[in-house]
């Protein structure tokens, strides 16, 4: 796979404060990388350095082989960047703003207008194209930010919290847009919303205190959780202790703990040995012993838990 | 060059979609008129010249040019659009020059809007049109110098009021620097050559000859190098302060 973005020891200090501390990262074409981390972890600072807005204190950031420090204009022309909160010139109409962006990006006249039409249709901005940006809703403003980022069809897209403040329908729409573009581009998306990572990202990194703490697919990240692949069985309280003892003996089950649920039933949580898949084994034990149960499910664990586990203590507002 | 014009166009769009441009031009024209006719006693002088008209320009600029310049960078930083602007494929210098160009052009438009006074004086008498033309050019150059100072102050703060006051203060020093009011302050402690430099960089002294229709080459160089210096300082300030 072709490497499109390459960060090597990228660091940023603001006086004595270390915002980003030696991040190494590669993003290839076809990847959608989720950038996770608590507020203040250094996500935006990292993105701003790649986008050429901030100058790194140390390390390099390369986009398609061009170093942002020595060749910023080239890097900026290869990038589509949507800053946090998608700030745009609010006194302009959507059309005027996008025309300005198109001109700076080297499109003009007919070609520019045709491309603007295309993007506006894709992002569903037709209804507001002649309205000033300052009267638009948050959702539309965010979409204007997205429109300016993809206007020149860049090979690399960096989106800082693209779905922040959108309603569920709008979020879904933005995610669909990202998925549609994913094959042709390298995309970096920062987000707080962990379900989003599972929905659109092929890979995720977790940043805390300016350091890269974890890097992998969401499946790989989930594997670190103790509760990953645990199997939960809900049974009546009178059969609970018998069932727990039997389940304890199932293949690859390291532990079976009983928890009384609010409705009076008992949940037996079977923890796997080394994250093994124990659903079949647990099912077999239940069937062989004719233990009646009302629910049986495998817990994948969620990214929220991974996030908390990895960044706990890292930041107070996580 | 293409980039400069694109940036400048956007900036001008910003001026003219709000009432700001029209308010500014109206006040500028009204004030030049008021100063020329009432304080300058245009009719009583009985001369077919615009010397009095131009002699008030430094004072008007002192108030009005910082008002044009104050939003140039402060607003970009305050609203966060500076991040949008500087992640486009342009250099900081493009952005600084483009925005300055727009503001200067805008001042030029305001200056041109005073043409009725030229028409008036031509109707009443037979003025030296060469002198008036040159004075307009000189006034335009001086506006650019004031503006470049304002742009730099605007790049240093995200607060437009502070940008305005700082720009007005620095412009005041440069306007008055040929006079004892300013020079005495420096004479007390600065070496003689510095006092001479300050005295020589007075806008008022430079502009005095311009109002008589004399633009010396060194005056042009003076105003242009003022702009070059302050715009360079603006570029440095924008780069240093953009993320703050």
The predicted structure's pLDDT at residue A314: 41
Percent of chain B with pLDDT over 90: 49
Interface probe with A: pick from B18, B71, B83, B242, most Cβ of A within 10 Å: B83
Closest chain B residue to A91 measured between Cα atoms? Answer: B14
Q: How far apart are CA B235 and CA B216, in angstroms?
A: 29
Candidate from A12-21, B55-64, B177-186 with smallest mean pLDDT: B177-186
Of A81, A85, A88, the CB nearest to B87: A81
Whole-number pLDDT of residue B244: 60
Q: Using CA atoms in the order A269, A272, A277, A279, what is the torsion angle rounded to 10 degrees?
A: -30
pLDDT for res B9: 93
Q: Percentages helix, strand, coil for chain A, rounded to the nearest 5?
A: 40, 30, 35
- pLDDT at residue number B85: 94
Tokens encoding A92: 């302009």
Determine the average pLDDT of the residues in B98-116: 94
List average pLDDT for each run of 10 residues in chain A, which is 318 residues long: 89 91 92 88 92 92 93 94 90 94 92 93 92 91 93 94 86 90 92 82 89 84 78 86 84 84 87 82 86 85 77 49
Chains A and B form CB pairs within 8 A to the count of 68
d(CA B115, CA B209): 21
Task: For chain A, say whether B91 makes contact (Cβ under 8 Å).
Answer: yes
Residues B17, A91: C-beta atoms closer than 8 Å? yes
Which of B5, B78, B86, B89 to mutate: most A Cβ within 10 Å?
A: B89
pLDDT at B121 over 60: yes
What's the Rg (C-alpha) of chain A? 24
pTM, two decimals, is 0.86
| pLDDT over threshold 50, residue B186 | yes
- Least CA distance to B95: which residue of chain A? A104
pLDDT of residue A41: 86
User: Which of A26-40, A197-211, B120-134, B172-186 is predicted least confidently?
Assistant: B172-186
Give the pLDDT score at A277: 82
More confident residue, B188 or A149: A149
| Interchain contact A209–B (C-beta under 8 A) | no
Closest to A308 in 3D by CA, of A219, A198, A225: A225
Q: Is B5 on the interface with A (CB under 8 A)?
A: no
Residue A51 has what pLDDT? 93
Q: For residue B159, what pLDDT is reported? A: 93
DSSP codes of every residue in A236-254: -HHHHHHHHHHHHTSTTEE
Residue B88 has its nearest CB partner, among A48, A76, A132, at A76
Nearest CA in chain B to A74: B89
pLDDT of residue A317: 39
Instruction: Looking at mean pLDDT, say which of A36-45, B223-232, B234-243 comes out highest.
Output: B223-232
- Nearest chain B Cα distance for residue A284, angstroms: 59
Here the ipTM equals 0.88
Q: Which residues 45-84 on chain A approach chain B with CB closer than 8 angstroms?
A: 48, 51-55, 72-74, 76-77, 79, 81, 83
């Amino acid at each position: 796979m072709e490497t499109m973005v390459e960060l090597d020891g990228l660091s940023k200090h603001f006086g004595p404060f270390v915002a980003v501390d030696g991040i190494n990262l590669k993003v290839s074409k076809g990847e959608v990388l989720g950038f996770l981390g608590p507020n203040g972890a250094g996500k935006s600072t990292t993105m701003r350095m790649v986008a050429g807005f901030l100058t790194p204190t140390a390390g390099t950031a390369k986009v398609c082989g061009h170093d942002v420090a020595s060749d910023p204009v080239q890097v900026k022309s290869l990038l589509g960047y949507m800053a946090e909160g998608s700030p745009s010139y609010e006194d302009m109409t959507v059309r005027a703003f996008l025309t300005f962006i198109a001109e700076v990006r080297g499109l003009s006249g007919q070609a520019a207008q045709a491309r603007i039409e295309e993007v506006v249709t894709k992002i569903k901005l037709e209804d507001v194209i002649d309205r000033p940006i300052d009267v638009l809703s948050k959702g539309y403003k965010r979409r204007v930010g997205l429109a300016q980022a993809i206007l020149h069809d860049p090979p690399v897209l960096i989106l800082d919290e693209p779905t922040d403040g959108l309603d569920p329908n709008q979020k879904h729409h933005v995610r669909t847009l990202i998925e549609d573009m994913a094959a042709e581009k390298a995309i970096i998306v920062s987000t707080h919303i962990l379900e989003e990572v599972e929905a659109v990202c092929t890979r995720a990194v977790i940043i805390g205190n300016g350091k890269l703490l974890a890097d992998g697919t969401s499946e790989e990240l989930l594997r670190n959780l103790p509760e990953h692949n645990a199997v939960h069985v809900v049974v009546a309280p009178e059969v609970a202790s018998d069932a727990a003892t039997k389940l304890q003996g199932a293949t690859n089950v390291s532990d079976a703990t009983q928890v009384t649920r609010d409705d009076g039933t008992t949940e037996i949580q079977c923890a796997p040995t080394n994250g093994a898949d124990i659903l079949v084994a647990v099912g077999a034990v239940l069937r062989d012993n004719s233990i009646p149960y009302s629910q049986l499910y495998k817990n994948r664990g969620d990214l929220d838990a991974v996030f908390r586990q990895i960044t706990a203590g890292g930041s107070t507002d996580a | 060059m293409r980039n400069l014009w694109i940036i400048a166009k956007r900036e001008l769009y910003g001026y003219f979609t709000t009432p700001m441009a029209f308010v500014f031009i109206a006040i500028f024209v009204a004030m030049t008129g008021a100063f020329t006719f009432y304080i300058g006693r245009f009719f009583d002088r009985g001369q077919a010249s615009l010397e009095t008209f131009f002699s008030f320009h430094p004072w008007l600029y002192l108030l009005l040019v910082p008002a044009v310049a104050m939003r140039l960078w402060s607003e970009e930083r305050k609203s966060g659009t500076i991040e949008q602007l500087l992640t486009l494929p342009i250099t900081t210098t493009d952005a600084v020059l483009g925005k300055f160009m727009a503001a200067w052009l805008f001042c030029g438009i305001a200056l041109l809007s005073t043409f009725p006074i030229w028409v008036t004086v031509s109707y009443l008498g037979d003025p030296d049109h060469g002198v008036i033309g040159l004075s307009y050019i000189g006034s335009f150059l001086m506006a650019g110098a004031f503006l470049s100072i304002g742009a730099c102050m605007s790049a240093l703060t995200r607060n437009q009021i502070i940008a305005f006051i700082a720009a007005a203060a620095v412009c005041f020093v440069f306007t008055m620097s040929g006079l004892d009011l300013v020079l005495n302050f420096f004479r007390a402690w600065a070496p003689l050559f510095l006092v001479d430099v300050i005295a020589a960089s007075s806008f008022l002294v430079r502009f005095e000859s311009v109002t008589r229709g004399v633009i010396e080459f060194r005056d042009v160089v003076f105003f242009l190098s003022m702009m070059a210096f302050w715009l360079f300082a603006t570029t440095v300030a924008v780069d240093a302060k953009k993320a703050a």
